Amino acid sequence: MSRLNDPGNFAGRVAYAASVIANGRPTSRAFDNCFENYDGDEVSAILVRRAAKNSKLAANIWRYLNQEFVTERIARFANVPTRQIPLLAAESRREAEIRFRERIAETENRGT
């Protein structure tokens, strides 16, 4: 499995997305993977915070992310310290896994 597709590699996914954006590279399946582990809001929040300190990232970020959508989605992290966002990302992934397993169980129960 690609490390970028590893849900537990939050820091790696953020770093890869930041590199693509800062360098103005084309997006790819690997770039999309950075946001597809049920913690895309958290990835976006870290990227926006990094952009505040990184001029290359700031110059390109809104070419890659939808500013209106992202700004609305990450507002809930406004008072959360950056170091806690990866913990929230892990919780988002756990909650998504629980919801997924509940849907599977529901489907299986309907079939019996």
Boundaries of every domain in the chain? 3-111
User: Which of 43-47, 53-57, 102-106 has the weakest average pLDDT?
Assistant: 102-106
pTM, 2 dp: 0.89
Q: Which two tokens stand for residue 64?
A: 């890659």
- Of the candidates 72, 10, 81, the one whose C-alpha atom is nearest the C-alpha of residue 49 is 81
**What is the mean predicted confidence (pLDDT) over 73-101?**
96
- Is the distance from CB of 45 to CB of 89 less than 8 angstroms? no
Between 43 and 111, the more confident residue is: 43
